[in-house]
Structure 1
Amino acid sequence: MSPAELSSAAQACVDVVSRGGGDAIAAQALNYVSEATWDALVERHRGKGCEALAARGLQAAGIFVCFTAGGTMQDCACVRDLLVNEGKTLFDNLLRGALQNWGDLPSRMQDAIAAPGTLTA
């Protein structure tokens, strides 16, 4: 992954999360865990990075944690891991899917594999 690719992906995360995407990610998380659990997860990892949240379903939460910590998104392990291991198309699908129903995340990732270079709706 080139520095330019990382920078572009980091900016995409900042754009999505800062335009209300963080609230959407939190709302989706609350469909699966209690508010107390979500708050504890965010507080526990804020400032420490998202390495412990590296499972694909939690990487959206990890990106949110990195963003709320105030660091640079280029330092976010979840962003880097997604780009290195899944590529830009799957990264884009996961990021967009994080704002929608998390139950659809596995299929969004598979759809991108089936149709490289395209984003699912």
Structure 2
Amino acid sequence: MRCWQHKHAPVARPKRSTTRRRASSGARSIGQRRTTVRRTPNRNSRGNATRRSRAGRKPTEPRDRSYDRLTPAKQERVDSAIQFCADAVTDGWQEAVAGRAADYASSETFRKLIRARRRRHCKALAEVAKLILAAKAKAHELLGVLGGGVLSLFGLGDLAKRFARELIEHIPLPLDAKAIAAARGVQVTGVLLCLLNGEDLRRCQCFIDLALEQSKTAVKKIMTTAMEDWTQLAWFGAKA
């Protein structure tokens, strides 16, 4: 209807019904909400990205804490042996010892040790040497150490045992002396692997065992003897 004060104004548009207006406004609000809704990120997307980034990284081994667990007196003993043997374990020493190890062990086994050069190899070799020295007087125990699953917890025990077994088979000595020479050869090989890998000898379990068992003079003699004939390593038996 026309307003009485605006008689000449055009006829107003018919009012839209309340129900229709509410329906249209509701539809419009729903449409607006649909346009403004944001997709929530997947909770696993961040974790997946983290795992992908970690997967591309080179795996690192945990730092060896064997030296840190030693008493100050034992740490001083290891440090003194390292300083005393520093002029012996040069590049020429590494090349000569690698040649001697290849003479007594198969090329495949030694090549696998050199190729990986993990610190776990040194720990496994150190454990093998301890077990050989402990069982050297009894042939059946020695064969059990090298043939059983004693070192399965080290992950690479099979390779370390295979290397020690080949040394025992090829070093031409009686069993008792052969066991000592093989144990020292295993320890020297552990030192070689750590040096080739650029490790500090304070983190080399094989060198730590030698330094704590032998005098620093004897440790240096073992290192120099390893450059020549490994049968001479039988002179360096275990000491209390």
User: How does the TM-score come out when normalised to structure 1?
Assistant: 0.75
The answer for unaligned runs of 5 or more in structure 1 is 114-121
Q: CA deviation at 1:87?
A: 2.8
Structure 2 residue aligned with 1:91: 219
> What amino acid sits opposite 1:73 in the alignment?
L
Q: Count residues with an aligned counterpart.
A: 110
Instruction: Return closer, same or farther for 1:92/1:18 CA change in 2, 3 Å cut-off.
Output: closer
Q: CA deviation at 1:12?
A: 4.5
> What amino acid sits opposite 1:84 in the alignment?
L
> What amino acid sits opposite 2:106 in the alignment?
S
Structure 2 residue aligned with 1:20: 92
Structure 1 residue aligned with 2:78: 6
Q: Distance in 1 between matches of 2:78 and 2:96?
A: 23
Taking only the aligned residue pairs, the percentage that are identical comes to: 32
Contact 1:94 1:105 in 2 (8 A): yes
Task: Report the secondary structure of 1:25's partner residue.
Answer: helix
Q: Distance in 1 between matches of 2:74 and 2:98?
A: 30
> What amino acid sits opposite 1:76 in the alignment?
C
Structure 2 residue aligned with 1:36: 108
Instruction: Return closer, same or farther for 1:19/1:8 CA change in 2, 3 Å cut-off.
Output: farther
Q: Distance in 2 between matches of 1:95 and 1:86?
A: 12
Q: CA deviation at 1:45?
A: 4.0
Instruction: Return closer, same or farther for 1:96/1:41 CA change in 2, 3 Å cut-off.
Output: same
Contact 1:13 1:63 in 2 (8 A): no
Q: Does 1:62 align with 2:190?
A: yes
Structure 1 segment 108-119 matched on structure 2, within 5 A: 109=236
Instruction: Return closer, same or farther for 1:14/1:34 CA change in 2, 3 Å cut-off.
Output: farther
Task: Report the secondary structure of 1:15's partner residue.
Answer: coil
Structure 2 residue aligned with 1:117: none
Q: CA deviation at 1:14?
A: 4.5
Q: CA deviation at 1:46?
A: 2.6
Task: Please say which of residues 74-83 and 39-48 is displaced more in the overlay.
Answer: 39-48
User: How does the TM-score come out when normalised to structure 2?
Assistant: 0.41
Q: CA deviation at 1:86?
A: 2.5
Contact 1:11 1:73 in 2 (8 A): no
Moved over 4 A (4+): none
Q: Distance in 2 between matches of 1:17 and 1:86?
A: 17
Contact 1:63 1:76 in 2 (8 A): yes
Deviations, residues 49-90 of structure 1 (Å, cap 9, x unaligned): 511112222111000011111121111111110111223233
Q: Distance in 2 between matches of 1:28 and 1:9?
A: 23
Task: Report the secondary structure of 2:220's partner residue.
Answer: helix
Task: Report the secondary structure of 1:71's partner residue.
Answer: coil
